[in-house]
Amino acid sequence: MKAATTRAAVEAEFPGLIAAAETARLRAYAPHSDFHVGAALLFDDGRGERFVGGCNVESDVYGLTICAERNALFAAVAQGRGEPLALAVVADTDEPVAPCGACRQVLHECDPLRRMRVFLVAGAGDAVRETSTAALLPGAFVLDTGDARRRSPWR
């Protein structure tokens, strides 16, 4: 992971990003783990709202549970959004929490040009860690190593 930063620094560069992730976290449905996570993607594509949020949604069948990061990514793809500039992930923890392995793989696939900035944010306090999709999953599985733009889900 990259350097530690602060909420104020992220908000200065990407106003509203962390707040959008925090709002999404409030909608999390986590009756089993009680671990609430929110994510927000920032877009500057002129196709609707600047932020697309997602929260974790748990199921009694654990394999059907979806994490906040994938929820936000899939919603943005379904909306036909352009390439996201940044992602913030907020968990109800004292320290930033990294995405699970499945989310790391999907993030890697959804950022074929490796330009998306990723901010992991503690729900309490000021702790923020900036990273990238490449740093989150070094040596990632890639089915097709052809043209990165062709593999991009962003329209």
Tokens of 4: 């530690």
Give the C-alpha separation, 36 to 28, whole Å. Answer: 5
Please identify which of the residues 22, 49, 69, 83 carries the catalytic annotation: 69
28 CB-near residues (< 8 Å, 6+ apart): 36, 37, 38, 55, 56, 57, 68
Question: What value does the CA radius of gyration of the chain take, rounded to a whole number of Å?
Answer: 15
Where does the chain show beta strands of DSSP type E? 4-6, 37-42, 51-55, 86-91, 117-122, 127-132
Establish whether 69 is a catalytic residue.
yes
User: Which residue numbers are catalytic?
Assistant: 69
